[in-house]
Structure 1
């Protein structure tokens, strides 16, 4: 399924329950991944800037609604920084507003996931995200494949 030993994932989400839920799903999947979480956009950008040379995450799961700096602002910034612009960003949000989805696609996110409330669906959509991301060589797919369903 995955072509590397281990994937480093970064989850930016201010909801601690969502972070715990995500971590539990990953643990349950027994995938070769490590997860770091940050709780707002300012923390996220600091983390990325401090790790930009050699220790960037392989995939960033980005919540849109965060305090201090939201996901839209973070994605915009990430894509403007040379060391970060190729970082694969998967939007991970409770809302599914098509206008925002389109905007995130245009800004260069590679996938959009609506957070499922159901644990088995969360596991499925995370596994799916990691699989298709690797299969696509971490590149943005065609627009019709942008939204990932569990």
Structure 2
């Protein structure tokens, strides 16, 4: 993982695992509107993502967005797999979910997610949220992570 500030990254490598095709499409459209060079890889479920992340000789994402409620392997299972894998555990992970359950927020925080974003219903708010998350310097953000800056409020 590249730990330099995002302003110095030539291309920010981003992965999204979400089983909802419309949500993946809106996420892609939002990221394309942001004035930042990104490469987005999308996955239909957590198992597809984990299969990809464990391939030999791939360029790992700088940031992974995980939907919590997916078939086959959900976002929580992916988060725990990522944090338990020494080759992946420094990767920044954003939970990207419709759930606003305190239990889900707390569980993902305890299990090592870097930020929790409720999926906005409005496209401009979605674009704004994604842009703010992409601009975070994760090297410094994770060292100051606490419950107050974990939940991103739109």
Aligned residue pair count: 148
Aligned counterparts, 1:1-150, within 5 A: 2-50=7-55, 53=57, 55-132=59-136, 134=137, 136-137=139-140, 139=142, 141-150=145-154
Q: Name the structure, 1 or 2, with higher relative contact order (CA <8 Å, separation 6+).
A: 2
Structure 1: stretches of 5+ with no match in the other structure: none
Summarize deviations over 1:77-97 as a string: whole Å, max 9, x none.
111111011111000001111
In structure 2, do the counterparts of structure 1 residues 135 and 80 end up closer, same or farther at CA, with 3 Å as the change threshold? closer
Residue 131 of structure 1 and its aligned partner are, at CA, apart by 1.6
**Any conservation in 2 of the 1:101–1:112 contact (CA below 8 Å)?**
yes
Instruction: State TM-score, norm by structure 2.
Output: 0.90
Residue 135 of structure 1 and its aligned partner are, at CA, apart by 5.8
Structure 2: stretches of 5+ with no match in the other structure: 1-5
Q: Could you list the runs of 4 or more consecutive aligned residues of structure 1 that deviate by over 2 angstroms after TM superposition?
A: 135-138
**Any conservation in 2 of the 1:88–1:138 contact (CA below 8 Å)?**
no
Residue 137 of structure 1 and its aligned partner are, at CA, apart by 3.6
Summarize deviations over 1:48-79 as a string: whole Å, max 9, x none.
1015x551000000000001011111111111
Aligned-residue CA RMSD in angstroms?
1.5
